Structure 1
């Protein structure tokens, strides 16, 4: 597997993390596990874990994205490496800041259309109703999505997904599939943040999301086309508790292929962030957005 593919979740761990000879050393309940940092993409830290400064320094050297989580496993802060800055960072972040409103709205239109088309593919793949309706809604998404077609599509989509469970999507609350989706999106968001910074972009400068309290507005924009692929993977899991075994299955799901015989989700995230950087600088006239279920 490619470099930087592991997601190490220490949010529920009581123990100590240290560094030794290129490896993350996990000390937990009188046991010691060693994980190569070269294989690690994202590290999730909880409130009961002690971390050595030597490890933090090496996490930066190995360009590992570190997400610091609250008691409910929601990320509250992140650490990005300055070890290998993108040589075009200044130019790209200036281009982000100066991007015209029409260009932002056009990008958001393509992102939302791709998301809704991906959702329709999920319903088709699960032999559920609603796919045709979502495709008709995708066509109605105009520049900037002024009529909030995204919200209309979401209501239809979640109405059909997990319908036998009388499911309602409540981010940050609940259990079962709600908790599984939240956790999967958190892991995916970690990959987005890493890829955005690697591409030399500023995570604070969003396309549609704008909030003084959100350092990762751009991640919350660029994540949208990938959500349907995650939703489908979660639909294949039992509606059980979010225990350590379930978390391992979810991490594998996030590392799955976006489409058959194509890139994995994290690899495609890397590519998409690079393409968005080129779009910001004007090298691409249109932003190519991946669609779950559609081959490029």
Structure 2
């Protein structure tokens, strides 16, 4: 069953009734909607006048639902996940902790190769010159010590959008990309917890201030799928505004179909396939992480 992403942007009171999340208008007490807790994957709260009880939070965490809060600029600000989401949690963490540096460097090499390959595919889809990316992909070393990721990114962004500089706080469409990446990061972090892994322990990212290093690692080959959505949106709507309609569109990233392990799956399911394969790489059952292919 495909899980749902719920976005709430109006004053609301959230309560629990018969295992359903109930969204109620605070003043009139009118029920705006209900959804089974078990059907939810992500819940985004985008208004300061949303009230949620601890009972609801506990039930959401018990179902491994990622709860995302937004700031005064209506941008994702916080992410709440349960401490663990797998019955073999301690055993799996031991495997993650014991992963050798050579193994992590090889996993990072695979990650960057697939990211560049997906960037190359997106350029091809839009009839843009992509040949240099193929060369970068072929020359990724263990641990990407020659920084082919950075070289590929420089070329990729220069050719995907006109007169564009990709920075966190830069000009449009950075705002759309940042929002999409925040949603993607939440999806990946949730899947890591569900696979019994710690999102904080990365295979490459090691920033001591970052609680989601592993999520930032694993989401890399998925970023071009966000880029594709943003590119298509701009081409169709000629707009860079991050409004409710744009957010609703970008939140559908979870249900976008991707090709993984020879099968077409919603991205939400594909991410779980990726994190499950990562754990098997830690145990030695697999030698290759399963990542999606952009086509």
Q: TM-score, normalised by structure 1?
A: 0.89
Q: Which residue number corresponds to residue 227 of structure 1? A: 223
Q: What residue is the counterpart of 1:135 in the other structure?
A: 134
**Deviation for aligned residue 1:172:** 4.1
**How far apart are 1:77 and its partner, in Å?**
3.8
Q: 1:235 to 1:28 in 2, by over 3 A?
A: farther
Question: Which residue does 1:44 correspond to in 2?
Answer: 44
Query: What is the Cα deviation at residue 81 of structure 1?
Result: 6.0
Q: Which runs of 5+ in 1 are unaligned?
A: none
Range moving further from structure 2, 267-276 or 232-241: 232-241
Using the size of structure 2 for normalisation, the TM-score is: 0.89
The number of residues matched between the two structures is 284
What SS does the aligned partner of 1:234 have? helix
- C-alpha change, 1:39 and 1:77, in structure 2 (3 Å) is closer
2:212 is aligned with 1:180:
no
The aligned residue for residue 17 of structure 2 is 20
Hey, what's the Cα distance between the residues in 1 that align with 2:157 and 2:25? Answer: 39
Match of 1:57 in 2: 58
Query: Alpha-carbon deviations, 1:52-79, whole Å to 9, x = none?
Result: 1221122123321112333342333423
| Alignment partners' CA distance in 1, 2:277 and 2:134 | 25
> Given the alignment of the two structures, is residue 7 of structure 1 paired with residue 9 of structure 2, yes or no?
no
Match of 2:291 in 1: 289
Gaps of 5+ in 2: none
Give how far 1:47 is off.
6.0
Task: Provide the C-alpha distance between the structure 1 equivalents of 2:127 and 2:176, rounded to a whole number of angstroms.
Answer: 22
Q: CA deviation at 1:278?
A: 0.6
Other structure's SS at 2:166 match: coil
* 1:63–1:81 Cα contact (<8 Å) kept: no
CA–CA distance in structure 1, aligned partners of residues 178 and 256 of structure 2: 17
Quick check: 44-53 or 179-188, which moved more?
44-53
Distance 1:222 1:97 in 2: 17
Secondary structure at the aligned position of 1:80 is classed as: coil
1:216 aligned partner: 212
3-state SS, counterpart of residue 184 of structure 1:
helix
Match of 1:150 in 2: 149
Q: Deviations over 1:93-140 (max 9, x none)?
A: 1121121111010000010010001000000001112x1110111111
The 8 Å contact of residues 7 and 187 in structure 1, kept in 2 or not, is answered as no
Structure 1 residues 172 and 96: alpha-carbon distance in aligned structure 2, compared to 1, 3 A threshold: farther
Say whether 1:262 aligns with 2:264: yes
**Segment of structure 1 superposing worse, 208-217 or 69-78:** 69-78
Cα distance in 2 between the residues matched to 1:173 and 1:20:
44
User: Mean alpha-carbon deviation: is it higher for 204-213 or for 27-36?
Assistant: 27-36
**Distance in 1 (alpha carbons) for counterparts of 2:17 and 2:82:** 21
Please state whether the residue corresponding to 2:289 is helix, strand or coil. coil
1:243 corresponds to which residue? 243
Question: Equivalences for 1:193-204 in 2 at 5 Å?
Answer: 193-204=189-200
Alignment check: 8 A CA contact 1:109 1:145 kept = yes
In 1: Cα distance, 2:57 partner to 2:83 partner: 10
CA change 1:243–1:153 in 2 (3 A) is: same
Deviations 1:122-169 (A, max 9, x none): 00001112x111011111110001111101110100001122xx2221
Q: 2:275 aligns with which of 268, 273, 276?
A: 273
SS for the counterpart of 2:153 is helix
